[in-house]
Structure 1
Amino acid sequence: MHRRLIGMKNNERTTSDPAAGLGELAALIERHAPTDGSHETAVPALRFIRATDTYGTVHSVYTPSLCIIAQGAKTASLADERYRYDPASYLVTSVHLPIAGRVVRASPEEPYLGLHLGFGTDDILDLAEEFDPASYGGTEVERGIGIDTLTPELLDAVVRLVRLLDSPQDVPVLAPLVIRETLYRVMQGKLRRMMLTFAAAGSHSHRIAGAIRLIRRDFDKPLRIERLAKEVHMSASALHKHFKKATAMSPLQYQKAIRLQEARRLLLAESLEAADAAFRVGYESPTQFSREYARMFGLPPISDVQSVRGALLASERR
């Protein structure tokens, strides 16, 4: 194993009992995330999420990341697919995906407690040498999201990473080592191929990751499939085929999801009129925007904003 894989020092206690490990992880998250919402930590790639109720669906773009639940349960929906995970499992995304997330098990007595650990292409490629290329070879595109079973070894690494927050002086040195070990444990499971194919230069998955990056960068501009395909060195038909395999949607559907999520953010954060938000994200027709917005979020723009703000006020009063 690579000499930089593991470094424990003051963080060297291990977690051999999964139930005890999950209990400790839940207690640590609850201490560092005392209120509902998302909480950044001293480890830049790590954040915690807490919820005391199943408030509804949250639409966001998941970055390449590992998501683990210490307490509660959640679903992540991509297009028409739904992925459910809980303390017995974990979710990984290897590319930016527009996800509808919903906490499905939480209460004030037992809040939902989860963590999100982001990673980059370099993190994955750095680990590629640890595995036999034959175990992840081939050019077939993988879906950019998957679920696997939480192992004691992975749980142990994650608990030790979170413990580091109690020793901030150790974070700069030890956190990168424990994160590397954590990703190594993930890649020992069935999601290794998915993670490596999106990172490996020259693969179809890597080209799709490039197409996604370009769509996200220019989401408010008209999408020209032929031009996009040329930029990622694919034919238009191959781009469409492999893009749908990776994301469960076409490039145009992906762009629409990104546009609508950004429009919703503008409506909530900047109090824009619906027509102004529509133009800001690239729609020429406010009517079409309102129709597609309602299809995605369940209500027309103004009604949806009022509903979201009402729900937030109600949760603050609890």
Structure 2
Amino acid sequence: MSQLVSTPAVSSYQHELAGLIERHTSMDGKHNTAIPDLCFRRASQVSEPTNTMNIPALYVIAQGSKTAIFAGESYRCDSAAYMVSSVHLPVIARITDASPQLPYLSLQLTLTPDVMLDIVKKTRPLGSGETGRGLLVNQSTPPLLDAILRLVKLLDTPMDIEMLAPLIIREIFYRVMQGEQGALLRQFAVIGSYAQSISEAIHLINRNYTEPLVIEELARTVSMSPTALHKHFKKVTAMSPLQYQKVIRLQKARQLLLTEGLDAATAGFRVGYESPSQFSREYARTFGRPPMSDIKHLRDTRI
């Protein structure tokens, strides 16, 4: 994907935003805030490519850069751009620009379906209603960054958060949905659209990922034919529902192996695999190493 170029106005906003995030992040890692849907991330060094799950959210980088590989395409995001995930999407992410002197600084603002739906009802018609990818990267704009700055500054006046944060968050997503690719994003908030049905299907798979996936039942639940479900699911996620469920299972198993010290067979059973050999084979194909070798590598590289 071509690199977006920051304007002087955007650079000024991002410089101020970086200073605020740095003040609220004393060490590397993820930092929750007093605003429930807002969190910050800080990293003092570049990272290896990491399989991760983007939640439905707005992602804004104030300093540094990262790449996200999704559906075979590489998305580069830095302070000139913002990224939006409309649904839960598995991506391979890598921080590409970070140092102790100039750490990677970013924020994540969770995308709330009710807020999106309300904005859609009060804004212009949707147009063609075509389903598209669930991951977008757009040029940052001064009005969007101004709203983001005002939201972050509320952390200095906690008594204002309950009243003002919901209003500013609505403004932020209004700005996003008026952006260049806003029509694609708005589709996920329209009841009865293909994109909204796929969003519901993705939610169901994530909630019930350990259970066998019967396409006909899933299609019936989201009021689609199996053929339409497969077609539009692939448009949004670049994979079939069964492939998507497999990725979810493997990522959950990796998390269990890393945090609970389970053996590979137990982790596989826990996420829905009946065959330990199939689990190990698909795990190695996805993450590049057999389960226990992969976990050892992850632990060694995090020291």
Instruction: Say yes or no: TM over 0.5.
Output: yes
Q: Per the alignment, do residues 74 and 127 of structure 1 end up closer, same or farther by CA in structure 2, a change over 3 Å counting? A: same
Instruction: Verify: 1:238 aligned to 2:228, yes or no.
Output: yes
User: How many angstroms does 1:212 deviate by?
Assistant: 0.8
Instruction: Verify: 1:89 aligned to 2:81, yes or no.
Output: yes
Which deviates more from structure 2 when the two are superposed, residues 74-83 or residues 115-124? 74-83
Quote the residue 2:93 is aligned against. 101
Which deviates more from structure 2 when the two are superposed, residues 86-95 or residues 17-26? 17-26
Give matches, 1:43-58, under 5 Å. Answer: 43-58=35-50
Q: Counterpart of 1:17 in 2: which secondary structure? A: helix
Q: Counterpart of 1:282 in 2: which secondary structure? A: coil
Quote the residue 2:275 is aligned against. 285
Q: Counterpart of 2:200 in 1: which secondary structure? A: helix
Quote the residue 1:305 is aligned against. 295
User: How many angstroms does 1:174 deviate by?
Assistant: 1.0
Q: Does the 8 A contact of 1:60 with 1:99 survive in 2? A: yes
Quote the residue 2:103 is aligned against. 111
Q: Counterpart of 2:74 in 1: which secondary structure? A: strand
Instruction: Verify: 1:200 aligned to 2:173, yes or no.
Output: no
User: How many angstroms does 1:58 deviate by?
Assistant: 2.9
Equivalent position to 1:62, from 32, 54, 67 = 54
Deviations along 1:73-112, one digit per CA (max 9) or x if unpaired, are 1112223222111100010011111222211111111111
Q: Which AA in structure 1 matches 2:64?
A: G
Instruction: Verify: 1:176 aligned to 2:166, yes or no.
Output: yes
TM-score, normalisation: structure 1: 0.90
Aligned-partner Cα distance in 1 for 2:70–2:22: 28
Equivalent position to 1:254, from 244, 248, 256 = 244
Q: Counterpart of 1:212 in 2: which secondary structure? A: helix
Q: Per the alignment, do residues 139 and 18 of structure 1 end up closer, same or farther by CA in structure 2, a change over 3 Å counting? A: closer
Give matches, 1:144-159, under 5 Å. Answer: 144-159=134-149
Aligned-partner Cα distance in 2 for 1:173–1:226: 45
Instruction: Verify: 1:25 aligned to 2:25, yes or no.
Output: no
Aligned-partner Cα distance in 2 for 1:193–1:139: 8
Q: Which AA in structure 2 matches 1:26?
A: A
Aligned-partner Cα distance in 1 for 2:27–2:50: 17
Q: Which AA in structure 2 matches 1:24?
A: E
Q: Does the 8 A contact of 1:94 with 1:194 survive in 2? A: no
Q: Does the 8 A contact of 1:98 with 1:257 survive in 2? A: yes
Aligned-partner Cα distance in 2 for 1:301–1:53: 26
Q: Which AA in structure 2 matches 1:224?
A: V
Q: Counterpart of 2:136 in 1: which secondary structure? A: strand
User: How many angstroms does 1:57 deviate by?
Assistant: 2.5
Deviations along 1:142-199, one digit per CA (max 9) or x if unpaired, are 2111110000111111111111111111111111111111111111212311221111
Aligned-partner Cα distance in 2 for 1:116–1:307: 28
Q: Counterpart of 1:42 in 2: which secondary structure? A: coil
Q: Which AA in structure 1 matches 2:148?
A: V
Q: Counterpart of 2:20 in 1: which secondary structure? A: helix
Q: Which AA in structure 1 matches 2:203?
A: R
Equivalent position to 1:71, from 63, 77, 85 = 63
Aligned length: 296
Q: Does the 8 A contact of 2:11 with 2:80 survive in 1? A: no
Deviations along 1:201-234, one digit per CA (max 9) or x if unpaired, are 1001111111111111111111111111111111
Aligned-partner Cα distance in 1 for 2:198–2:223: 10
Quote the residue 1:12 is aligned against. none
Q: Which AA in structure 2 matches 1:198?
A: F
Aligned-partner Cα distance in 2 for 1:39–1:191: 29
Quote the residue 2:257 is aligned against. 267
Q: Counterpart of 2:92 in 1: which secondary structure? A: strand
Q: Which AA in structure 2 matches 1:64?
A: P
Quote the residue 1:13 is aligned against. none
RMSD: 1.3
